[in-house]
Amino acid sequence: MGRGSLSLLAGSAIVIVMVLAAALAPLLAPHPPLAHDLPNRLRPPWGFAAGDARHLLGTDDFGRDLLSRLLHGARYSLLVGFLSMGIALLGGGVLGAAAGFAGRLADVVLMRAVDVMLAFPAILLAIIIVALLGPSLGHAMLAVGVVGIPHVARLTRATVMAELARDYVLAARAAGAGAPRVLLRGILPNIAGPLAVQASLTFASAIVEAAGLSFLGLGAQPPLPEWGAMLNAGRPLLFRAWWVITFPGLAILLAGLAFNLLGDGLRDLLDPAGRR
């Protein structure tokens, strides 16, 4: 059993657990995620002094159960990762494929546009998108997705171009297959591997980046239990209640880790020679 399959196993195991946690959050969560309970505010995790078995991970400053919030938060974080990845992949994929395919002029124009996007300070772009549309989780998702587009576009273009030069493509074109047909039948299956890897890595960074935006107050708005927003809310409590900032941080770390492992594992699986 190679290292790749170990990463794959570990990564997918954590991902499955997280997906299950998100799906079953209403059943698993011991408390409603938004219910205030001021007498029980800032209760430490179970096992610490003044801890309470009814609040395994403790409570925040409104007395809300952290475990329940984290479980519900998994829904938002996974959704953010998924949709941001979708935007980046779709936008970047279309741009990149078009550039790789559609001839010299289109290539130059599209890649120049991608260069501009890359040169534009990414975090500023994200912040301005959110400033334009107003702070909300959806807009943060959009911003993170848009920022990811140029990277995916470059990768797709490079892969498409490499494939285009291959014999089977040349043969298909010589046989009169139209561009869309070649793209769908010939190339897509061949570049699906690298794209899948890119997808899981984009997923990972999207979760961390969206959490970063929430952390700046530009993403999810309270009382939504998104992990980045929870981390942000826990910031002033660092010395008073370490658990309020530690557990959301761990959750983000774990999610990023899981999808990174998944991506690495996929890469090794699809490319046994370990090329890249």
Partner 1 sequence: MPVWPALVAVAALALLSAHLLGVSAAQTTPRSDSAGAEIPRRGGTLIYGRGGDSVNLDPAHAIDGESLKIADNVFDTLVRYRLGTTELEPALATSWEVSKDGLAYTFHLRRGVTFHDGTPFDADAVIFSLARQLDPRHPFHKVGGRYLYWDAMRMADIVERLEALDPYRVRITLKQPEAPFLANLGMNFAAIVSPAAARRYGETFSSHPVGTGPFIFERWRKDDRIELRANPSYWEGRPYLDRLIFRSIPDNSVRYLELRGGAIHIMEFPNPDDLPLIERDRSLQLLSQPGMNVGYLALNTRRPPFDNPLVRRAVNHAINKEALVQVVFGGRAQPAVNPLPPVIWGYHDGIAAYAYDPARARRLLAEAGLPNGFPAALWAMTVPRPYMPDGLKAAEAIRADLSQVGVTARIVTYEWGTYLAKTRNGEHDMALLGWTGDNGDPDNFLAVLFEATSNANIAFYQNAELQDLLQRAKRSTAQTVREGLYRRAQEIIHGDAPWVPLAHAVQVLPMRRNVQGFVLEPTGKRRLHRTWLR
Partner 2 sequence: MLPLVLRRCLSIVPTLFVVSVLMFLLARLAPGDPAVLLLGERATPEAVAALRRDLGLDDPLLAQYGRYALKVLRGDFGLSLRTRAPVGEELWERFPATLELALVSMLWATAVGMLAGVLAALRRGGWFDLLSRAAAVTGVSMPVYWLGLLLLLIFSVWLGWLPLSGRLSIGLEAPRVSGLLLVDTLLAGDRGAFLDALRHLILPALALGSIPVALVARMTRASVLDVLHQDYVRTARAKGLPPRRVVGKHVLKNALIAITTVVGLQFGLLLSGAILTETIFSWPGMGRWLIQAVYERDFQVLQCGALVVATAFVLINLLVDLSYLAVDPRLRQRS
Q: How far is the CB of 231 from partner 2 (least distance, A)?
A: 6
| Cβ atoms 42, 6 nearer than 8 A | no
Decide which of partner 1, partner 2, none touches 119; Cβ closer than 5 to 8 Å per partner kind. partner 2
Q: Which is nearer to partner 2, 31 or 154 (CB)?
A: 154
| Residues β-bridged to residue 55 | 52
Q: Does 38 bind partner 1 (CB under 8 A)?
A: yes
Task: Name the E strands within the chain.
Answer: none
- Of 77-85, 141-149, 205-213, 218-226, the window that binds partner 1 (rule: CB under 8 A) is 218-226
Q: Is the peptide bond before 223 cis (omega within 30 degrees of 0)?
A: yes
- Quick note: the x/- pattern for partner 2 over 230-259, rule CB under 8 A, is -x---x--x------x---x--xxxxxx--
d(CA 72, CA 22): 6
Q: Shortest approach of partner 1 to residue 250 CB, angstroms?
A: 5
Shorter beta-carbon distance to partner 2: residue 97 or 117: 117
Site for partner 2 in 151-210 (CB under 8 A): 204-205, 208
Q: In the complex with partner 2, which residue's Cβ is closer, 92 or 186?
A: 92
Residue 237's SS3 state is helix
**CB 233 within 8 Å of CB 70:** no
Give the distance, in angstroms, between the CA of residue 246 and the centroid of all CA atoms in the same chain. 20
The answer to whether 268 touches 3, Cβ cutoff 8 Å, is: yes
Q: 156: closest CA among 84, 87, 101, 86?
A: 101
If we measure between CA atoms, which residue out of 257, 266, 100, 259 comes closest to residue 195? 266
Which residues lie near partner 2 (CB under 8 A)?
Answer: 2-3, 7, 112, 115-116, 118-124, 127-128, 131-132, 134, 204-205, 208, 211-212, 215-216, 228, 231, 235, 238, 245, 249, 252-257, 260-261, 264, 273-276
Q: Residue numbers of the site for partner 1 (CB under 8 A)? A: 6-7, 10, 14, 36, 38, 41-42, 48, 61-62, 131, 134-135, 217, 221-223, 235-242, 246, 249-250, 253-254, 257, 261
